[in-house]
Structure 1
Amino acid sequence: MRTPNLDALADGGVRFDRAYANAPVCTPSRQSLLTGGLPHATGVTLMGTPLADRTTTMADGLGARGLGAKAPPPRNVGARSIVP
């Protein structure tokens, strides 16, 4: 089977051969991507735990420098915030 689009994507993409997650469940891992903080430092250690309002996200930092995001990140980075 020919897959020219997939082949082009693979040729121009990045291969992650060593990817690590800092938590075994998704919510703490997602909050780490949004904040740059480790789960134990932000208090988000369980699935479904919301970020505290005082937590600064990358979007907050970019916005403070005039590089705003198109949409603010959800404070609840749990499964219910992305799955209807």
Structure 2
Amino acid sequence: MKEKTIIIPEPGLHPEAVSNLVQLAGTYVSSLTISYHGKTVDLKSILGVLSLGIPAGTEIKIIADGEDETDALENIADYFNKQKSA
């Protein structure tokens, strides 16, 4: 199991960003979860992630557990880094 802490860039996790993030998470066999303010949900669930209501500038934790956990965390972090530069 590995985890990574990420700061959410502007404009935050709006529905389109969540949809793209969930699609990305779905390409991995590892179990992926996202934690925010003491709540943890499946990163492969659009409704779960949306229910967290994560605003820009806040810190989240992504937890990956499985055979491709390293690749999953790296690519999810890259997704957020691309959001910063967009």
Q: TM-score, normalised by structure 1?
A: 0.33
Q: TM-score, normalised by structure 2?
A: 0.32
Q: Which has a greater percent of strand?
A: 2
- Bigger relative CO (Cα 8 Å, ≥ 6 apart): 2
Larger radius of gyration: 1
